[in-house]
Structure 1
């Protein structure tokens, strides 16, 4: 009986551990995606800003 209870407890513990690791993995992946998207947006904003500044300088020189 103790062996059966121990086996059941270990199986349940492994299942809970597996599920929590899966949720953690999904959470990390989502946050990495959000960070990547944010960095891409910031890079695009910088490119547009630099292009506008370059055009403004050319306009002032002309």
Structure 2
């Protein structure tokens, strides 16, 4: 009886462990995706800002 209970407990423990690891894996993947998207948005904003500054510099040269 002890062997059956031990087997059941170990099986249940392994199932809970793998379900938890799956949830952690999904959370990490989503977190990395969000971080990548944020970095891409920041780079896009930086690129637009540089283009705007260059355009303003051209306009100042044309006015001068």
TM-score w.r.t. length of structure 2: 0.96
Deviation string 1:1-45 (CA, Å, 9 cap, x unpaired) is 000000000000000000000000000000000000000000000
Structure 1 stretches lacking a partner, 5+ long = none
Count of matched residue positions in the alignment of Structure 1 and Structure 2: 62
Equivalent in the alignment of 2:47: 47
Equivalent in the alignment of 1:29: 29
Moved over 3 A (4+): none
TM-score w.r.t. length of structure 1: 0.99
Structure 2 stretches lacking a partner, 5+ long = none
RMSD (Å) for aligned C-alpha atoms: 0.3
